[in-house]
Structure 1
Amino acid sequence: MRTISIISQKGGAGKTTLAIHLAVAAMQSGLATLILDTDPQATASQWYQWRGGGEPDVIDCAAHALLARKVQQASELGAELVVIDTPPHADIMAREACRVADLVLIPCRPQAFDLAAIEATADLVRAADKPAFVLFMGGPPRAPAIYREARELIEGTDRLETRKVAVAPVMLTQRAAYHHSSGEGRTASEFEPTSKAAEEVATLWTWTRAQVDV
């Protein structure tokens, strides 16, 4: 079994959007997948209610002391992939999520304040010594200069380089399908299978799957 933890100290970075789209993409590829919702706001759990249950399962886990056991139980029950959705501004839960992860994804909007917040998250993943990638979320679909400048800013930050945090070559941009589908308990690939958003998710999953070898 593989575990992907989605961590950002910045609220509104798109953690839950990333979590549910990765989990559904994994499920659609044939993997037994579940989401561990560790955010007290329970956004992923709310999405699951809108979805009416079914797969992928979403399990609440607001107590950091229970996270490792929940992951172990998922493995024992036959899960092949666990996606952990974490809350912002929660160092203890984020550290625990890093500890149990095979891969850490750090969603980030390509904006100054969001980019500055990456260092705080990078501090949390350093001690875990796990592969970590910044993944741009919610930026304009056609703005190569914005992404180039954001990437250069991240890659040129010595403090991030020493933490081995790289920029993922994939992203989920600002598209209506992400928002409309979530409100119906679905994802972009389920809501509009031929949309640009669905293409982005497919590319994201192909890349992510290669990182964790599932």
Structure 2
Amino acid sequence: MKTIAIISRKGGAGKTTLAVHLAVAATIDGLSTAIIDLDPQASAAGWGDSRTLDAPAVVSAQAARLPKVLEAAASNGADIVFIDTAPHSETAALAAIRAADLILIPCRPAILDLRAISDSIDLVKLANKTVTVVLNAVPPRGSSASEAIEAIATYGVAVAPIQVGQRAAFVHSLTAGQTAQEYEPSGRAAEEIEQLYKWICKQVNI
């Protein structure tokens, strides 16, 4: 079983959006998939409750219970698990980091977001792990993405080669208990998630 942690100490970075979209991509790919929601706001769990489909499985849990929940997921045959973390909880973020095969930090290409990722990067380094930043909600025009990549380089961490755009399909689909792949299968949002998912599979040898 592979475990992907999605962390950010900043709220509004797109952790839940990324977690549920990647989990659905894995489900579409035929993998037994689960989302573990460590955020007390339980946004991912709420999304799971609003779905008409059973997969992916969504479990709300406390950080202290994460090892047991992961153990249960593995024993139930999960192939891949995505952990959605709370923005202001160092405990939840560290628990997810320690359990993960791959750690992603979603980050919008805006100055406040770019400054805020340093806290998340410090946590990852504290656990002696490596991390990849995923540029999220990238505007369709302008140079903000390339400027963000330059800024992130100063932290000495990698940036995923796939960027996720600022697209209405992400918002509309989640409201309906879906993801962009289900809401608008041939749209750009679905295509970007599919490319990011394929990249993740290569990183964790799926």
Partner of 1:117 in structure 2?
Answer: 116
Give the 3-state SS of the residue equivalent to 2:83 in structure 1. strand
| Counterpart check, 1:150 vs 2:158 | no
| Counterpart check, 1:140 vs 2:139 | yes
Partner of 2:79 in structure 1?
Answer: 80
Partner of 1:54 in structure 2?
Answer: 54
Partner of 1:204 in structure 2?
Answer: 196
Deviations 1:32-53 (A, max 9, x none): 0000011000000111111135
Partner of 2:29 in structure 1?
Answer: 29
Deviations 1:122-148 (A, max 9, x none): 0111132333100011120233x2111
Deviating above 4 A after TM superposition, structure 1's stretches of 4 or more consecutive aligned residues are: none
1-structure distance, mates of 2:141, 2:182: 24
Give the 3-state SS of the residue equivalent to 2:109 in structure 1. coil
Give the 3-state SS of the residue equivalent to 2:163 in structure 1. strand
| Counterpart check, 1:45 vs 2:45 | yes
Q: How many residues align?
A: 206
Unmatched runs of 5 consecutive residues or more in structure 1:
none
Aligned residues with identical type, % of pairs: 50
2-structure distance, mates of 1:31, 1:195: 23
Letter in 2 for 1:60: S
Q: Is the 8 A contact 1:170 1:204 kept in 2?
A: yes
Give the 3-state SS of the residue equivalent to 2:162 in structure 1. strand
How far residue 76 of structure 1 moved from its aligned partner, in angstroms, is 0.8
Give the 3-state SS of the residue equivalent to 1:88 in structure 2. coil
Partner of 1:2 in structure 2?
Answer: 2
Letter in 2 for 1:28: I
Letter in 1 for 2:54: G
How far residue 54 of structure 1 moved from its aligned partner, in angstroms, is 0.4
Give the 3-state SS of the residue equivalent to 1:172 in structure 2. coil
1-structure distance, mates of 2:163, 2:58: 23
Q: Is the 8 A contact 1:102 1:131 kept in 2?
A: no
1-structure distance, mates of 2:82, 2:197: 12
2-structure distance, mates of 1:33, 1:25: 9
Give the 3-state SS of the residue equivalent to 2:97 in structure 1. helix
Partner of 2:88 in structure 1?
Answer: 89
1-structure distance, mates of 2:111, 2:141: 18
| Counterpart check, 1:107 vs 2:106 | yes
Letter in 2 for 1:151: I
Query: Structure 2 length as normaliser, TM-score?
Result: 0.97
